[in-house]
Amino acid sequence: MKDVYEYAIIRIIPRVERGELINAGVLLYCQPRGYLCARVELDEARLRALDPRVDLDGVRHALDVYLRSCGGDEGPLAAEPPGSRFRRLTAPRSTIVQTGPVHAGLTADPEAELEHLVTCLVRSP
């Protein structure tokens, strides 16, 4: 049986005024299965091509917040249910690391779907 899931791409926009970005991860939420997970793969060379002076440590820290927040084990979102954490993580922001629009689909396996999305939308061909 397939369940509805929602996902958003985690993207990095090192110089917001230029509008250039790279995809650095995917955040996936499947409410019927109580599944919330993020996968991050930062291509530092591609990011440096957009902005050689980008703060890589700051970007890595911001990406780590997505990973830790999904687990619900620590941080200010730990006590919130997965759906609430997903909504907070996908709320619009004007920082260097942000999520794109939320999209939906159907899946029988959220973990496999997350891997598929990372392969298609984040990894370089």
Write the pLDDT tens digit of every residue in 67-95. 988 876 766 777 889 999 999 999 988 78
Cα 9 from Cα 56, distance rounded (Å): 19
Give the structural domain span for 10.
3-121
State residue 110's pLDDT score.
97
State residue 16's pLDDT score.
85
State residue 78's pLDDT score.
73
Which parts of the chain sit beneath pLDDT 50?
none
Q: Domain tally for the chain?
A: 1
The burial of 124, by beta-carbon neighbours within 10 Å (0-12 exposed, 13-18 middle, 19 or more buried), is given as exposed
Widest pairwise Cα distance in the chain? 48
Residue 115 exposure: Cα atoms within 13 Å on the Cβ side: 4
Q: What is the pTM (predicted TM-score) of this model?
A: 0.92
- What the block records as the tokens of 73 is 């084990």
Cα 38 from Cα 64, distance rounded (Å): 10
State residue 94's pLDDT score.
76
